[in-house]
Amino acid sequence: MDRPLGKLQSLMPSLTSSRYFTNSTTSRSDTPSSSRPRAVRRPQKSTALSAVASKRHRATHSSANSTSQSTPGWAQSDILTSISRPTTASGRKSRTTNASSVLGIGEANTIVCAVCEARGVSPSVGIAFVNTSIGEAVLSQICDNQSYVKTLHKIRINWPSRIVCLAQGTKSTSLTPLLRSMFADIPIDETDRSFWSESNGLGYIDRLAFESDIQPIQVAIQGKYYAVSALAAAMSQIEHQFSITFAPHSLRLRYQPSDDTMMIDISAIQSLEIVQNSHSTKSKDSLYGLLNNCATPMGNRMLRSNILQPPTLYESFMAPRYEAVEELTVNQEMFLEIRKTTDQGNVLVNGTPPMANLSQLITIPVISAISQAEQQINQVLMIKSFLEAAKELHVAMNPATAPLLVKIRELCSFEKIAAMLQKITLVLESDVAYTKSALDLRNQRTFAVRSGISGVLDVSRQAYKELTEEIHHYVEQINEKYSVVATLKFDNGRKYWLKLSISDYNRVDPPGLFINVAKKRGAIECQTLDLVKLNMRLSDTSNEVVFRSDAIIEQLIAGLQADASHLFKMCESVGLMDMLASFAQISTTRDYVRPDITNRLALKSARHPILDKILAEQFVPNDYFATEQHCFHIVTGFNMGGKSTYIRAIALLQIMAQVGCFVPAEYASFSVVHNIFTRISLDDNIEAGLSSFSVEMRDMAFILRNVDQQSMVIIDELGRGTSTRDGLAIAIAMAEALIQSKAFVWFATHFLDLARVLTNRPGVLNLHLASDCAISEDGVPHVTMLYKTERGPEREEQDYGINLAKAIGLPQTIIRTAEEFVRASRLRKEANKQNSEAERLQRRRQLILGLHEALKQARVDGAEDALPGYLKQLQHEFVTQMAAIEDGN
C-alpha cells in the first residue's frame, strides 16, 4: 500500500536538518508490512462525546514504590522500595511499600496461587491462579531462567491472597525461599507431593470446566504437567482451607501462554505512573486514570489487566480493537446508546461486580447459614437485572459492523438471554429487582418468589406483611400518645428504629421509654422495648421466608448453572465493550489517532498522554523514530528541559497502542514490544542497607540480564549516584551492552562525554532538548526552555549549569572560578582531540548506512510522482556531508 511521500518525507531525516526521522524495513514484529492499517486522523471533538466525558470523568488509580530484581538471594526489602524522585540527596526517608499498593489493587478478591517447579538448568514453572471471588482459574507454564523473573512478575501482577508450594523434602530449591522473602505479607503453605497430581488436575478440568471449554483446554495443556499439577494443589487447598467446592461444569478455566503478553516490571509500573499517580493515590493523573471512563466493574478490571499486561498479538487482539474503537468514534449515536445501557447495567451487590455474583452461583459452601441464603436470592436478583441490561445493549449495538463488536453483540443475543430470563421469570415475580436500600432489598427478597408456588411460603409472607403493618401502627400510637413526631427507619443492624427531634425526646414521660439512644446530627435515634420485640418476631418470620424461598431458589440456581458458561462470556463481553467505549471516548475528545503496527517506531507530534490532559494546548509535542539502525537514543539538555517527560512518554504511548487504544499524535507507527524496563529513580534502601548507587546498579543488572531485541528500555541519568569519573565509565559500559542488545533505548543523561564517545557507534542517535539562552543588560542569563527535540548532543559551550547558577544569584567569585575551570578543561580537550583516519572511516560508514536505510524505506512507502525530487535531495545531502568529512569538519 503506497503512502503519500509528502507525509512520509516529514518523518524521514534530512541528512543535514535537525529532523532525525529515518526509515527502515528491519523486522521487529511478526506483523507483515502489507497487512498494517492506514493511520486515520480522528474527527474533531463532538459536543455529545464531550458532554459524556465531562459527566463521566472518574477513575480509580494510584502509585506506590517498588523496584524489581532478579537475584534469588535478595530479600523483599531489596525489591520493594520507594522510587519517587527527591529534590535533594540528603534527608530522605526510605519507605518500603508492597506491590499491591503499587498496582492499585482495589477489589478484595480471594486468589489462591499454586507454584510447581521442575528441576533442571532452565526450570519450567507451573502456576495456577484460582480466583474464588469471580469463579475463574488460569493456568500457565513458564520456561524461566535461574532468577525466576517471569514467574515472580506474574505473581506480582496477580498478587494472590495465598500461595501454595510443593514441600521441599530432601532436595532444596531456591524458588520457595525466594517467594517467602519477596511476598512476606502473603501466607505461603507447603503441601505434600500427593496433592500435586496431574491425574487429579485433569479430573478437576473434566469435572469443573465449562463443557464447551474442556476439549480446547485439553489441547492447550498437552505436555504442561506442572501447570496441571499446580491446579490440583490449588483446588485441594481451596476445598480444605476455605471449605468451598464448585458445581460441575461451572468454573471459568483457561490456559494463558506466558509469551502472549508484554512484561512490565514493577519499577516501570510505578515510575511511569501506569496505575497510580506517584504523588497522590487519590489523583486521577495516571495512565489508568486517563483511560478509565468505564461504567462497569468488569470494564475496570479488564482495563487494569490490559495495561499491566498488554497483549503482543496483533491479528488476535490489537487489530480487532482498533477497528472497534474506530467505528465507535465515527458512529456517535451508537456510542451514546451503548454508554446509556452500560450505565444502566452497572448494578452492584454490596459493592461486588456482576461477575463476582455469578461466582456465588457456582460455589457450593459446606456450611449453610441464613446470610448465605439471603445472598443467593440477591445473586439471582442481580443476574435478572444484568440480563435485562444486556438485552438493551444488544439493541444499541445493532448498527455495529466491526468484527469484534459483532461478536460481542452475538454473545448478548435475544435468544440466549430470553432462555435464561424465562427460567428466572417462571420462579420470580416479573417486577422484582435488586435495590441498594436495605429495607427495599429485604422486601424484594421476601416477595421475590411468585405466589402460588409454595402454600407454606405464602402463609409466611402474609405473616411478614401483618407484622410490618403492626410495627407501623405501633409507631403511630407512640406519636399520638406522646404528641411527638417519630419517624420509622430501618438498617441491617438495628432493624427498625425511631428518629425524633431532641425537643420531642426531652418531653416524653416517662423518660425511660426509649432505649438504645444515640444522638446524631441534631436528632435522636432510639428504640423502645416493644419495638425490639417486634423486630425479633419480624426477623424470625423473615428468616423463615428466606429459608422457604431458598429451597425454590436452589432449584432455579441448579437450572442456571447450565448457563454459567454463557453468563461468564457475557460478563467478559460487556467488560470488553465497556473498555472499548472508554477508549473511543478518550480518543475522540482528546483527538487521538489510530496507530499502525509495523516494523518501526515513528511518531509525529506525539504528546505525553497524562500531561496532554493536564496542560492541553500548552504541551509541546515531539517526534520519535526508532529502528534497528537507530535503536539507542541519547537525550541531553538543560535541567527542567523536558528530558524525563520525553523518554517516559514513549513507553506510555507504546502501552496505549498495544492495549488497542488510539494515541495522542498526528501520526503513529509502532512495532510490537514484549518487555518494558525502566531505571529512573534516585532512592536508597535503608532497610536493605543499600545506597542509591547500589540500588541503581542492582536494577541495571536486572535489566541487562533480561533485555532483548523485543524490549524497550527507559533510563534517566544513570551513574549520578557516584563520582563523575566512575559514573561516566559505568554509563558508557552499560550503554555499549544495551546497544548490542538491539533493544529500543532512550537514555537521558547529563554526561556530554557519553554522547560524544558513542556518537559514531552504529545504532546510536544523539538528541537534545532545545533551549534559548539570552543575556540581559545587567549580565544575568535568561534561559527559555523550548521542550523540543533537536538532533545532536547539547553543545558544551552553552554551559547551562553555570548559566542556571548565575540566574539564581550565586556570588560572582564562585561563578568566575567555575568559568575558569570549565575554560581550562575545554582547552585541554581541544588539545587532545585527534582527527584520526579511524574516526573519519566510522563517520563515513554511519553516513552510508543512513543513506541505505532511507533508500529502502522510500522504495517501500514512496509515491512515484514525488520520488525523483526526494532522491535528488538525498543525493545533495549525502555529497555535502561526505565532503565535510573528507575536509575534517
Span 322-336, pLDDT tens digits: 999 999 999 999 999
Give every CB contact of residue 754 below 8 A, 6+ residues apart in sequence: 634, 728, 731, 732, 735
Q: CB–CB of 822/654 below 8 Å? A: no
The whole-angstrom separation of Cα 212 and Cα 217 is: 10
CA pair distance 857, 866, nearest whole angstrom:
14
Type of residue numbered 22: T
Which among 378, 429, 432, 431 has a CA at the least distance from the CA of 546? 378
Q: Which residues contact 31 (CB under 8 A, 6 or more apart)?
A: 314, 315, 597, 598, 599, 672
Assign domain 111-255 to its CATH superfamily. Answer: MutS, connector domain (3.30.420.110)
Is the pLDDT at 164 greater than 90? The verdict is yes
For 374-378, what is the mean pLDDT?
82
Whether the CB-CB separation of 345 and 574 falls below 8 Å is answered with yes
Q: In the chain, what is the straight-line distance between the N-terminal and C-terminal CA atoms, in Å?
A: 41
Whether 22 contacts 858, CB under 8 Å: no
The confidence band for 593, taking pLDDT boundaries of 50, 70 and 90, is very high
Between 398 and 372, the higher pLDDT residue: 398
- Nearest CA among 155, 166, 135, 170 for reference residue 76: 155
Q: Is the pLDDT of residue 33 over 70?
A: no
Kindly calculate the radius of gyration of the chain based on its CA atoms and give it in whole angstroms: 33
Output the pLDDT for position 45.
38
**Contact at 8 Å (CB) between 151 and 124?**
no
Query: Three-class SS of residue 868?
Result: helix
| In the predicted structure, residue 381 carries a pLDDT above the cut 50 | yes
Tell me phi and psi for residue 314, to 5 degrees. Answer: -70, -55
pLDDT at 184: 86
Instruction: Assign 3-state DSSP to the chain and report helix, strand, coil percentages, each to 5.
Output: 50, 15, 35
Give the number of other Cβ atoms within 10 Å of residue 38's Cβ: 8
Residue type, 546: V
Banded model confidence at residue 476, pLDDT cuts 50, 70, 90: very high
Question: Three-state SS for 149?
Answer: helix
> Which carries the bigger pLDDT value, residue 104 or residue 700?
700
Evaluate if residue 68 carries a pLDDT over 70. no
pLDDT for residue 534 is more than 90? yes
Position 803 pLDDT exceeds 60 = yes
Domain 292-451+545-589 has CATH 1.10.1420.10: yes
650 Cβ partners below 8 Å, 6+ apart?
Answer: 601, 603, 606, 624, 712, 714, 746
Residue 712's pLDDT is 95
* pLDDT (0 to 100) of residue 234: 93
Choose the CATH number for 596-798 among 3.90.550.10, 1.20.1090.10, 3.40.50.300, 3.30.420.40.
3.40.50.300
pLDDT of residue 41 exceeding 60: no
Considering only residues 534 and 146, tell me which one the structure prediction assigns the higher pLDDT: 534
> What is the tens place of the pLDDT at every residue in 726-781?
888 888 999 999 999 999 999 999 888 888 888 888 889 999 998 887 777 776 66
Confidence of residue 97 (pLDDT cuts 50, 70, 90): very low
* H, E, C per residue of 582-619: HHHHHHHHCCCECCEECCCEEEEEECCHHHHHHHHHHC
pLDDT at 102: 56
Cell numbers standing for residue 845: 560508514
Query: Domain locations in the chain?
Result: 111-255, 292-451+545-589, 596-798, 840-887
pLDDT at 670 over 50: yes
Stated as kind and residue range, the H or E segment containing 385 is helix 370-396
Write the DSSP symbol of residue 857: H
Task: Give the number of residues written for the chain.
Answer: 889
DSSP label at 513?
G
Q: What is the mean pLDDT of the chain?
A: 79
Of residues 851 and 32, which shows the higher confidence score? 851
Residue 650 has which C-alpha cell? 514513549
Instruction: Tell me the C-alpha distance between 667 and 623, whole Å.
Output: 10
The rounded distance, in Å, linking the Cα atoms of 63 and 387 is 36
**Region 284-306 average pLDDT:** 90
Residue 610 CB: number of other CB atoms within 10 A?
Answer: 22
- Residues facing 114 on adjacent strands: 128, 164
Among residues 119, 203, 128, which one has the least CA distance to residue 165? Answer: 128
Cβ pair 413, 398 in contact under 8 A: no
CA-angle at 529, arms to 526 and 534, nearest 5°: 100
